[in-house]
C-alpha cells in the first residue's frame, strides 16, 4: 500500500525499549536500567479542522474514527483503544485535543516485550501536543501515557516503558529511580560486546491479567512487611531486612518479594558494572535475574526459558535474560561482537528444535526517545 507521508504536517516518533535489568521492580519503587531502541512507532499527523481523529495504519487496512466529544466509548476497540486512551487523558489533563488525520507506522513488533504500546502512546500524545502548539515535555508525556494505559486500557503497568520510550538518549542506558523519577543517563560502553535482542515469537497471549496479579501480590507483601518496617515501597526492603522479616510472608508472596528485593540489589551492581565496563560481571547478573524471574516471580514460561537457556549455553554470550513483562516476548543477551552471527545461528537452531518455530534476532541501536520533525 502506498502512503503519502509528505501530505502530513509533521512526524513524531517514540522508541521501543529493552530493559537490561530491573524487571518487575518499577511498580515497587525500584530502579531499572532500560535503553530506548531504534525500533520505533512513527506518527504522521495533520489537523483536519473537524471534531474527529481519523486513524489509519501502515500495516492494517482498518480506518477508525474517534469522536473527540465521546472519547470514553472506545475502550476495548481493537487497534483504536490506545489512541483513544491518549486523547482521553490529554483532555482530562486540560490540554487541547484537535481533530486530525493520523497515520501510524509501528516498527516495534506487537507482543515482543519491546514496548510497542508505550511507543504508540508516547508518540501519539507528543503528536497531539505538537499540532496543538503545546510544549512537549518528555517526562510529562511519559506520565500521561502511563495514565492512559493504567486507567483506560486497564494494564496496571509501572512507569519504566513510557519513560524509556519518551526520555531515552542515544548511546545511553537510563538508571531510573521509579519512585522519584530521578534518572542518570549512563553511557553504554560495552567494549568487545554487543547487546542482542531476540524475540521468542510466542503467539500473543493476554498477559494483562497475570501481570496485574503479580502487582497485587507485591502490594500484599508490602502491606505485611510494613507491620515491621517503616517503608513506602517494597523496593526499600534491604536483603538484611528480608532475611529477618521475609519469613512473615506466606508463599507465593515470599517468593515474589524475594525476587523484588534481590533484583533491586542486582540493578545497582549492574549499573556499576556498566560504568566500569565489566561485561562478564554484568552477564552473570543477567543470568541470575532470569533464574529469579523463572523460579521466584514465575513470569517466564517455556519459550523464554528455552531462548535464554540457548543463549546462556553459547560460549561467546556472558549472560542472557528475559526482558519486559514476561510470559512471552524477548530476551536480551550480552554477546561478543565478533560472535554475534554465530550466536544467532546457534540460538535459532537450538530454539527452533525445542519450540517448533524460529525466534527473531534483532540488530537494533540505542536511540533517542521522542523525536519531532516538521514535514512542511
Least Cβ distance, residue 300 to ligand GLA (angstroms):
12
The total number of residues shown for the chain amounts to: 376
What region does 178 belong to: left with phi over 0, alpha with psi -120 to 50, or beta?
Answer: alpha
Residue of 29, 138, 324, 369 that binds ligand GLA (CB under 6 A): 324
Scan residues 169-228 and list those touching ligand GLA (CB under 6 A). Answer: none
Binding of ligand GLA at residue 29 (CB under 6 A)?
Answer: no
- Applying CB under 6 A, which part among 19-27, 78-86, 119-127, 306-314 lies near ligand GLA? 19-27
Q: Which of 26, 81, 101, 161 is catalytic?
A: 161
Sign of CA dihedral 284, 287, 291, 296: positive
What is the contact mask toward ligand GLA in residues 143 to 172, using x (rule: CB under 6 A)? --------------xx-xx-----------
The residues that bridge with 173 in the sheet, in sequence order, are 186
Residue of 16, 18, 20, 23 that binds ligand GLA (CB under 6 A): 23
Q: Which is nearer to ligand GLA, 119 or 225 (CB)?
A: 119
C-alpha 194/C-alpha 336 separation (Å) is 6
Q: Which is nearer to ligand GLA, 151 or 349 (CB)?
A: 151
End-to-end CA distance of the chain: 23
Scan residues 97-136 and list those touching ligand GLA (CB under 6 A). Answer: none
Q: Is 161 a catalytic residue?
A: yes
Residue 108: φ, ψ to 5°:
-85, 115
Binding of ligand GLA at residue 319 (CB under 6 A)?
Answer: no
Q: In what order do the strands lie in the sheet with 10-19?
A: 63-67, 52-57, 100-106, 34-47, 10-19, 371-374
C-alpha 240/C-alpha 261 separation (Å) is 10
Residues that bind ligand GLA (CB under 6 A): 23-24, 26-27, 157-158, 160-161, 324-325
**Which residue numbers are catalytic?**
161
Amino acid at each position: 500500500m502506498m502512503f503519502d507521508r509528505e501530505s502530513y504536517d509533521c512526524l513524531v516518533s517514540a522508541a521501543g525499549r529493552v530493559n537490561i535489568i530491573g524487571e518487575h521492580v518499577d511498580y515497587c519503587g525500584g530502579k531499572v536500567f532500560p535503553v530506548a531502541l531504534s525500533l520505533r512507532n512513527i506518527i504522521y499527523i495533520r489537523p483536519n479542522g473537524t471534531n474527529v481523529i481519523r486513524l489509519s495504519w501502515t500495516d492494517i487496512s482498518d480506518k477508525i474514527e474517534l469522536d473527540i466529544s465521546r472519547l470514553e466509548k472506545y475502550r476495548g476497540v481493537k487497534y483504536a483503544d490506545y489512541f483513544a486512551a491518549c486523547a482521553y487523558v490529554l483532555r482530562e489533563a486540560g490540554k487541547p485535543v484537535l481533530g486530525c488525520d493520523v497515520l501510524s507506522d509501528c516498527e516495534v513488533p506487537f507482543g515482543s516485550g519491546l514496548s510497542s504500546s508505550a511507543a504508540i502512546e508516547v508518540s501519539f500524545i507528543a503528536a497531539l501536543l505538537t499540532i496543538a502548539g503545546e510544549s512537549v515535555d518528555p517526562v510529562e508525556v511519559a506520565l500521561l501515557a502511563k495514565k492512559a494505559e493504567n486507567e483506560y486500557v486497564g494494564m496496571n503497568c509501572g512507569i519504566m516503558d513510557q519513560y524509556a520510550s519518551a526520555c531515552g538518549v542515544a548511546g545511553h542506558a537510563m538508571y531510573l529511580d521509579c519512585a522519584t523519577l530521578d534518572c542518570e543517563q549512563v553511557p553504554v560502553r560495552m567494549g568487545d560486546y554487543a547487546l542482542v535482542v531476540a524475540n521468542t515469537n510466542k503467539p500473543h497471549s493476554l498477559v494483562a491479567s497475570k501481570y496485574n496479579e503479580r502487582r497485587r501480590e507485591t502490594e500484599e507483601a508490602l502491606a505485611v512487611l510494613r507491620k515491621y518496617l517503616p517503608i513506602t515501597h517494597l523496593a526499600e526492603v534491604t536483603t538484611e531486612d528480608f532475611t529477618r522479616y521475609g519469613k512473615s510472608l506466606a508463599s507465593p508472596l515470599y517468593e515474589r518479594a524475594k525476587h523484588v528485593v534481590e533484583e533491586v540489589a542486582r540493578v545497582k551492581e549492574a549499573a556499576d558494572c556498566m560504568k566500569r565496563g565489566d561485561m562478564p560481571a554484568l552477564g552473570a547478573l543477567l543470568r541470575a535475574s532470569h533464574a529469579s524471574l523463572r523460579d521466584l516471580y514465575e513470569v517466564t514460561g517455556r519459550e523464554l526459558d528455552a531462548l535464554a537457556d540457548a543463549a546462556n549455553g553459547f560460549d561467546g554470550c556472558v549472560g542472557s535474560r528475559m526482558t519486559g513483562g514476561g510470559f512471552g516476548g524477548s530476551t536480551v543477551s550480552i554477546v561478543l561482537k565478533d560472535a554475534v552471527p554465530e550466536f544467532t545461528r546457534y540460538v535459532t537452531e537450538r530454539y527452533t528444535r525445542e519450540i517448533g518455530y524460529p525466534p527473531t534476532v534483532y540488530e537494533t541501536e540505542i536511540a533517542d526517545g521522542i523525536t519531532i520533525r516538521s514535514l512542511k
